[in-house]
A and B are shown apart, each in its own frame.
Chain A
Amino acid sequence: MYLDLFFSFFKIGLFGFGGGYAMLPLIQHEVVGTHHWLNVVDFTDIVAISQITPGPVAINMATYVGYVVSGNVWGSMLATLGVTLPPLLIMLIISRFYLKFRKNQYVEMAFSTLRPGILGLIAAAAISLVNSYNFIDKTSGLIFAAVFAASLCRIHPIKLIIASGLAGLLIYH
Chain B
Amino acid sequence: MLYLAGKPIQCTWDTAMRELWQIFLSFFRIGMFTLGGGYAMLPLIQREVVEKRQWVDSREFIELLALAQTSPGPMAINAAVFVGYKHRGVAGSLVACLGMTLPSFLIILIIAMYLVGFRENHYVESFFKGIRPAVVALIAAPLYALGKAIKIRWWGVLLAALIAMAIAYAGVSPAIMVVVAALIGLLNGMIRKHRSGENPDVS
Residues of A within 8 A of B (CB): 13-23, 45, 48-60, 63-64, 67-68, 73, 76, 80, 83-84, 86-88, 90-92, 94-96, 98-99, 102, 105-106, 108-130, 133-136, 140-141, 143-145, 147-148, 151-152, 156-158, 160-161, 164-169, 171-173
Contacts and interface: CB of A to CB of B under 8 A. Distances in A.
Nearest to A50: B108
24 contacts: A19-B78, A52-B124, A54-B33, A63-B104, A64-B112, A80-B105, A92-B90, A99-B86, A102-B63, A110-B186, A115-B152, A117-B177, A120-B159, A121-B174, A122-B143, A123-B143, A126-B139, A129-B136, A143-B133, A143-B137, A144-B136, A147-B137, A148-B141, A151-B141
A123 B147 CA distance: 11
Given A84-B97, A87-B72, A134-B136, A124 B108 contact: no
Nearest to A14: B72
B138 to A, nearest CB: 5
Contacts of A21: 37
A19 B124 contact: no
Contacts of A160: 134, 138
A132 to B, nearest CB: 11
B38 A20 contact: yes
A59 B101 contact: yes
Interface of B: 29, 31-39, 42-44, 47, 59, 62-63, 65-78, 81-82, 85-86, 90, 93-94, 97, 100-101, 103-105, 107-109, 111-113, 118-119, 122-144, 146-147, 150, 152, 155-157, 159-169, 173-175, 177-178, 180-186, 188-190, 193
- Judged by DSSP, the binding face of A is helix
A43 to B, nearest CB: 14
Contacts of A113: 156, 159, 181-182, 184-185, 188
A98 to B, nearest CB: 6
B183 to A, nearest CB: 8
A120 B85 contact: no
Contacts of A130: 136
Given A49-B108, A119-B150, A123-B140, 13 more contacts: A52-B128, A58-B73, A67-B108, A88-B81, A113-B185, A114-B178, A115-B156, A117-B163, A119-B147, A124-B166, A124-B174, A126-B39, A166-B130
A164 B131 contact: yes
Given A117-B178, A119-B147, A143-B134, A92 B93 contact: yes
A116 B160 contact: yes
B104 A54 contact: yes
A114 B93 CA distance: 24
B29 A52 contact: no
A168 B44 contact: no
B168 A124 contact: yes
B78 A129 contact: no
